[in-house]
Chains A and B, each alone.
Chain A
Amino acid sequence: MESQAPATLSLRDLFAGFFAAGISGFGGVLPFARRIMVDQRRWLTDAEFADLFALCQFLPGPNIVNLSVAFGARHRGIQGALAALTGLLAAPITIVVTLGVLFERYGKLPLVHHGLEGLAAGASGLILATAVKIATPALRHSATIAVVALAFTLFAILHFALPVVILIAFPVSILIARGRTP
């Protein structure tokens, strides 16, 4: 099934769609981007969205930023990529810079400082929840558990540099995936 979107969306559509996803995306933009692109605007089918997202998860960098670039480029080349990207980031960057300026100015006041300590503890709890959710599918087979453990140990316990961790763990993971992929 093909999506019902016109073959090429306008730069304005791209900017507006990703602007809406960016401003509503608290704690991860992905579900909001999916809702807007698949359910509301019908730019993509579920399967097309999943395929596009697989690319953006596979490539390095912020997933949702990659998604905006790939989708924008498919419709309008470089200009489309830039329209989608700036739409996605315009509001969040304005908001985070405002928060950042307030943090730099008031972060040392005792009350704010204690609030920030609570906030930091909460945010790391949230990251743990995300990490567990993403790691769970890999925790069903002993071979992929070994890769999770390998990447974790090299990075968090042995403090290897990130490129080294990837250069060791990813080839091992490819070898395992080769055996498991029909």
Chain B
Amino acid sequence: MILLTLALLFAELSLLAIGGVASTLPAMARAVIAHHWMTAPQFAALFGVAQSSPGPNMLIATLIGLHVAGLPGAAIATIAMIGPSSTLTYAVAGWWHRFREARWRRILQSAITPVTGGLLLAAASVLLRAADHDWREALISVAVFLVATLRPKLHPLWLLAGATLVGILGFA
């Protein structure tokens, strides 16, 4: 039963993930909290774990599945997160290529950017609120944001490792 719930949740998010999976993070957080699978800070921590692994950021779905229902949950959540969108991509890829000069395609393409921007900023605000329960954590977030923005070539793993270390030193 719980596997079905996971499958339906992530299959829906798969088709709603405009501009990538990060746009759905607020909806994901809302769903896992409503199901009492985890708290907001736990979700933020799990997202941190997903970001520490190489690979696409849809891996947060794998981790939620694992948390809720072990390895079968991880498998179902992963397949549900990539299945519907991959099927759609498979279906329209050739057709999209054929219309690469068309005006309507350029319109759709430029229309998606501001929507994605708004959804991603929403995702960031939800995660920041979940992760930063006091000023010290907020300071870590701000520092990582500034360094990542000013030094875009720096490997993000260094920033995540630094943030983890500051967490251990500052709070233990």
Residues of chain A whose beta carbon lies under 8 Å from any beta carbon of chain B: 22-29, 51, 54-66, 69-70, 73-74, 78, 81, 85, 88-89, 91-93, 95-97, 99-101, 103-104, 107, 110-111, 114-139, 144-145, 147-152, 155-156, 159, 161-163, 165-166, 169-170, 173-174, 176-178, 180-182
A51 to B111, CA, bound (A): 16
Docked-complex contact B55 and A91, CB < 8 angstroms: yes
A81 to B133, CA, bound (A): 43
Q: A54-B109, A125-B143, A134-B120 are in contact. Are A29 and B114 (CB under 8 A)?
A: no
Docked-complex contact A101 and B56, CB < 8 angstroms: no
Which chain A residue has the least Cβ–Cβ distance from B156? A27
Instruction: Name the contact of B120 in the complex, choosing from A78, A120, A135 (C-beta under 8 A).
Output: A135
- Tell me whether B33 is interfacial, beta carbon within 8 Å: no
* Chain B contact residue count (CB 8 A cutoff): 107
Docked-complex contact A178 and B107, CB < 8 angstroms: yes
A162 vs chain B, min Cβ distance (A): 4
B93 vs chain A, min Cβ distance (A): 4
A148 to B120, CA, bound (A): 9
Which label, helix, strand, loop or mixed, suits the secondary structure of the B interface?
A: helix
- Tell me whether B140 is interfacial, beta carbon within 8 Å: yes
Docked-complex contact B62 and A100, CB < 8 angstroms: yes
Which label, helix, strand, loop or mixed, suits the secondary structure of the A interface?
A: helix
Docked-complex contact B20 and A62, CB < 8 angstroms: yes
Which residues from 112 to 151 on chain B have a C-beta closer than 8 Å to any C-beta of chain A? 112-128, 130-132, 137-138, 140-145, 148-149
Q: A29-B56, A61-B14, A104-B67 are in contact. Are A122 and B48 (CB under 8 A)?
A: yes
Which chain A residue has the least Cβ–Cβ distance from B137? A121
Instruction: Name the contact of A162 in the complex, choosing from B16, B107, B114, B143 (C-beta under 8 A).
Output: B16
Residues on B with C-beta less than 8 A from A126 are 51, 144-145, 148, 156, 159-160
